[in-house]
Structure 1
Amino acid sequence: MTESDFVSLEAAATVLGISVRHVRRLVNSGSLTQVARGVLESDSVDRYLMSQRQGRTRSWAEHTAWGAIAVLSGGEADWLGPTQISRVRRTLRELADPSELVSRVRDRARVRTFTAHRAALPRLRATVLRPNMNALGIVDSGEDRIDGYIAARELDNVIRTLGLRTEPSGDITLRVTGFDFDQVGKLVSTSAVVAALDAATALDPRIRGVGQRALTEMLETYR
């Protein structure tokens, strides 16, 4: 761990082009990760910045974001009303820039990064839902790295029982969602849209490019 893994509240505000007060709100909401008083995880700032490329784009609420993912995947979003569905479909047809879609659905989950003893990884791997990155031609990053979705209600118990430790550059990325986890499970396991969205906000530019191209093709097909 080096000093480059961390950034002050003031520096984060400068990078994001917002006030320190706004940065604190993002910390409180879980959008940014604070590792000590006045010190943030720099990777969380980078990820947030990546998802904000269309900074003036209003994000959808969590349930609407998952509804949009279901619709773009060719499925149904029974939890949304007819008016919401109509608006989501219209917006998806109008979208051309994948970064705008990424921004729209950014509140589907909060991203947290951790590290853990290797002995805990098999249990954690069995707990989280991991998108099929192979469908995008992205090779699995290995047994020591985990990136997947987890129900918000399970997070504290998993952290405690598996001894997860918050780590700015940790190999464990948990995408925490409070939405109906049965629905999340169906989408994560069957939809390439989820994999593409996750890839499109990766810090690795190669993976990010793969995700963005996949989303562009999906939006073109949907129209």
Structure 2
Amino acid sequence: MSLLAVSEAAERLGVSTRQVQHLVARGELRSLARGVVDETSVERLLAVRRGSHTRAWAEPTAWAAVALLSAREAGWLGESQRSRLRGRLRGLGAEELVERARGRASVSRYVAHRSAGDRLRVELVDTSAAAERLGLVATSAIDGYLEATALKAVVARHGLMRDDRGTVTLRATSLDLDVVRDLVSASDVLAALDLAESLDVRERRAGIDALERALGQFRG
């Protein structure tokens, strides 16, 4: 695991040290000790932002964007909010969508004993199965959503160890998981967003391409 001083992280991201502290507080960067952050979390944020400093949407708006692109109603937003969001989506490219929608969940990565895989998947809304449909080879990696209130218990129950290069990705959200399941069944938009945040070039490209297609269909 590589470490960076907050000042080094700020220089790489092109922000102030105070902004780095805000990013840590929001869970977008991982702090390992006072004044030190994990380098991989910086690399992931750079991959998502790609030089931009666009502010992420609030969680309900980010999920509404996924819903609208998946031909769902996003009833947790008012009609006027949905109308404005539809207009914004028509003007977005895939790269900006990835950056805007990153607030849909708090993401953390772990390593797990191989025996934990099947048991862990049962507790998640798993998006990794979409990888093959998006042109990637099957993977044993675990990537899924769970309720934010359940995160600590799941980590403890399965003996997960925090590691930003691990193959278990947990995405903690406050959205009802039944809604997340419906979105996963409706389209590959959510899975594409997850892939587009990857440090793996092929995964990121597959995610971006799928999002461009979804945005094109949405514009009609």
So what's the TM-score if we normalise by structure 2?
0.92
Aligned twin of 1:169? 165
The Cα offsets for residues 47-90 of structure 1, whole Å up to 9 and x where unpaired, read as: 11222236343322101111111111112111110111101110
The Cα offsets for residues 93-137 of structure 1, whole Å up to 9 and x where unpaired, read as: 112x21111111110011101112222222112111121222212
Aligned twin of 2:138? 140
CA distance in 2, matches of 1:54, 1:186: 33
Structure 2 residue matching 1:176: 3-state secondary structure: strand
CA distance in 1, matches of 2:34, 2:114: 29
Matched-pair contact (CA < 8 Å) for 1:62–1:109: yes
The Cα of 1:188 is off from its aligned counterpart by 2.5
The Cα of 1:46 is off from its aligned counterpart by 1.4
- Percent sequence identity is 46
The Cα of 1:35 is off from its aligned counterpart by 2.5
Structure 2 residue matching 1:114: 3-state secondary structure: strand
Matched-pair contact (CA < 8 Å) for 1:197–1:211: yes
The Cα of 1:209 is off from its aligned counterpart by 1.1
CA distance in 1, matches of 2:3, 2:167: 16
Aligned twin of 1:62? 59
Aligned twin of 1:209? 205
Q: Do residues 24 (structure 1) and 5 (structure 2) align?
A: no
Matched-pair contact (CA < 8 Å) for 1:35–1:166: no
Paired residues, what number?
A: 217
The one-letter code matched in structure 1 to 2:139 is: S
Q: Do residues 194 (structure 1) and 190 (structure 2) align?
A: yes
Matched-pair contact (CA < 8 Å) for 1:111–1:176: yes
Matched-pair contact (CA < 8 Å) for 1:200–1:211: yes
The one-letter code matched in structure 2 to 1:141 is: T
**RMSD value, Cα:** 1.6
The one-letter code matched in structure 2 to 1:133 is: A
So what's the TM-score if we normalise by structure 1?
0.91
Matched-pair contact (CA < 8 Å) for 1:54–1:103: no
Q: Do residues 126 (structure 1) and 156 (structure 2) align?
A: no
The one-letter code matched in structure 2 to 1:55 is: S
The Cα of 1:7 is off from its aligned counterpart by 2.2
